Amino acid sequence: MADFTNSFWNWFIIVGTVGGIIAMFWLNRWMTGPKRRADEKAKPTGHVWDENLQELNNPLPRWWLNMFYVTLFFGAGYLVLYPGLGSFAGMLGWSQVDQYNREVAAVDKQVGPMYERYLGEPLVQLAQNREALKTGERLFITYCTGCHGSDARGGPGYPNLRDNDWLWGGEPEQIKASIMQGRNGVMPPWGAALGGAEGVRQTAEYVLSLSGRRADPAAVEAGKAKYQQICVACHGPEGKGNVALGAPNLTDNVWLYGASLKVVEESIDKGRSGRMPAHAEFLGEAKAHLLAAYVYSLSHQATASAKGGP
Ligand code: HEC
Ligand code: HEC
């Protein structure tokens, strides 16, 4: 509750609010005006409109004033029971965070079993279960499309999850680990180590040649030497990558950041750092399990239909 940077604002609000209520109370009393004798007539205030429409000094009707007293009383009672007066938490101890958590817990209790009943099922088997996949798809659309796209084909920097080409491994348990723990691929910038733009270009030409792309042969030769020196550690001697580090396979012509020479040069020169956030705490294991089965199914539909097929 106490989010104030200093106690001045706490008192600023208390004095303003309590002062406001007292001022309104006083205004009400004042508007009631002095009691008029029953036989006394209302006097004109001297304000006249449209030639003969006069304002008289009649007091406000009693019921009207009483309504104001009711709202003042309600306001004071509210401020005693609920948070509102500076950092005073209110006597009921209510907070919106508490209420939110209670409501979330109630929903979880209701729908939790819907997800948990799948937790014991092996992922490969679950990836054939139509009903489970439908639930998985709904979860994916809610939590994952922002980065991976509604068709799960990703975009520059966000991997395609349909192509059975994996940065961190495509075994069901590896996919689940990607979702639960998150992933952070770190490709350091190599521009300086490669001696600037020319060295970067040569290495990029070599990288392109690894997937059979047309490349300048002289540059490829020079780039290969540099590759063997620096890049093997993560991308491997043949450029096949390393799922333990999230280092992509450079020989399959599947690109995380883009296929053009310019983009490959940029990856090498400036480095890259793709981050997949961890979802274990946020979603819980049961939902992550369903999501892993759904993601696995996206690139294993052939097996799914082969089993049930003719
Ligand atoms: C420390 C390990 C490491 C080293 C050394 C390394 N890389 Fe990488 N590289 C990675 C990782 C991890 C990624 C994926 C980055 C991401 O996920 O954002 C990557 C990504 C790339 C990409 C982008 C691939 C794509 O699909 O878009 C290229 C190109 C690349 N590296 C080339 C190289 C070259 C050339 C060298 C040597 C000069 C090199 N890397 C050295 C770890 C490394
Ligand atoms: C904030 C953006 C973001 C969100 C949200 C996100 N992802 Fe990712 N995800 C990424 C990035 C970026 C990577 C690649 C990390 C890297 O470069 O190594 C990734 C990687 C992955 C991988 C590993 C892919 C591989 O090739 O090994 C899987 C599986 C995955 N995400 C599934 C999901 C699922 C399921 C969800 C929804 C619960 C999700 N992601 C939500 C950004 C996101």
Average pLDDT over residues 256-275: 97
Distance of CA 62 to the CA centre of its chain: 54
Average pLDDT over residues 116-141: 95
Q: For the segment 6-28, what is each residue's pLDDT rounded down to a tens digit?
A: 889 999 999 999 999 999 999 98
- Of the pLDDT bands very low, low, confident and very high (cuts 50, 70, 90), residue 2 is low
Q: Are 255 and 213 in contact (CB under 8 A)?
A: no
Task: In whole angstroms, give the CA distance from residue 195 to residue 186.
Answer: 21
Round the average pLDDT of the chain to a whole number and report it: 91
| Vertex 148 angle, CA 267 and 109, to 5° | 140
Rounded to whole angstroms, the maximal C-alpha distance in the chain is 115
Res 310: pLDDT: 36
Question: pLDDT above 70 covers what percent of the chain?
Answer: 94
Residue 279 alpha carbon, nearest atom of ligand 2: 38
User: What tens digit of pLDDT does each residue of 59-100 get?
Assistant: 778 898 899 999 999 999 999 999 999 888 899 999 999 999
The candidate with the shortest Cα–Cα distance to 295, out of 196, 202, 176, is 176
* pLDDT over 50 (residue 309): no
CB burial string 49-81: b at 16+ within 10 A, e below? eeeeeeeeeeeeeeeeeeeeeeebeeeeeebee
Gap between the Cα atoms of 15 and 164, Å rounded: 64
Pocket residues for ligand 2 (CB within 6 Å)?
140, 143-144, 146-148, 157-159, 161, 166-168, 175, 178-179, 183, 185, 246, 274-277, 279, 291, 295
pLDDT band at 203 (very low <50, low <70, confident <90, very high): very high
Q: Do 163 and 173 form a contact (C-beta atoms < 8 A)?
A: no
pLDDT of residue 6: 83
Q: What is the mean pLDDT of residues 169-178?
A: 97
> CA–CA separation, 4 vs 215, rounded Å?
62
Asked if pLDDT for residue 3 goes beyond 50, the answer is: yes
Please give the share of the chain, as a percent, with pLDDT higher than 90. 80
